[in-house]
Amino acid sequence: EDQVTQSPEALRLQEGESSSLNCSYTVSGLRGLFWYRQDPGKGPEFLFTLYSAGEEKEKERLKATLTKKESFLHITAPKPEDSATYLCAVQAAGNKLTFGGGTRVLVKP
Amino acid sequence: KAGVTQTPRYLIKTRGQQVTLSCSPISGHRSVSWYQQTPGQGLQFLFEYFSETQRNKGNFPGRFSGRQFSNSRSEMNVSTLELGDSALYLCASSLEEADTQYFGPGTRLTVL
């Protein structure tokens, strides 16, 4: 059975204080690893898709990397608007996404 | 391009009733998946539809069902509602199977 574990569960950062979120996974035949951002009361917003170990993608202050067993989401010099829950999900067979529990990030000014 | 839309956004039902939720995918997207999100269990996969066929189903009881129409719009139905069915129900669409999924705003269902 596919499993995804995210750590830490919660992260409090000062504005400008860079940090990393971890997503470790166990899956048979990874087709893709996805990062989403979710604000309270809203649906998840797509950030990145990673397909193979060694792949990296960047968007503004966010950078996602992938190894054979885990993925990292690096937040560089975060701003208060980066406060959200960040979700990691893996896709193996079909269209099913298996999600981790998420990391709640709070960036204080 | 308009995003995924879900109706209604909020719903209050009582135990034993049934409910139907609707999802309109992004224009041109043919695959629709449904997820349940609760504080305790997080986001869990319900089922996936592609070309009006259910392609994959999560570990939920038979009270949860769905369908997809020829225009790719989808509905999910929950019969004999239980208190534990209170959740945010999310619909996601993708161009084809295994493509990136884009989520709608969700329908917040409260069962009293």
Q: Are A91 and B106 a contacting pair at CB < 8 A? A: no
**pLDDT per residue over B17-63, tens digit each?**
999 999 999 999 999 999 999 999 999 999 999 999 999 999 999 99
pLDDT reported for residue A89: 97
CA distance B13 to A57: 43
- Which segments of chain A does DSSP mark as H helices, in order? none
CA distance A28 to A51: 14
pLDDT reported for residue B63: 97
> Does the pLDDT value for residue B1 go beyond 80?
no
Residues 6+ apart with CB under 8 A from A9: A101, A102, A103, A104
Q: Which residue of chain A comes nearest to B89, CA vs CA?
A: A43
Probe site for chain A from B6, B43, B54 (most A CB atoms < 10 A): B43
Min Cα–Cα distance to chain A from B56, Å: 7
What does DSSP assign to residue A82? G
Residue type, A82: D
CA-based nearest residue to B63, from B45, B82, B49, B44? B82
pLDDT reported for residue A98: 96
Share of chain A above pLDDT 70, in %: 100
pLDDT reported for residue A87: 98
Provide mean pLDDT across the span A70-93. Answer: 96
CA-based nearest residue to A96, from A45, A30, A12, A6? A30
**pLDDT per residue over A18-28, tens digit each?**
999 999 999 98
Share of chain B above pLDDT 70, in %: 100
Q: Are B102 and A46 a contacting pair at CB < 8 A? A: yes
A68 touches chain B (CB under 8 A): no
Share of chain B above pLDDT 90, in %: 94
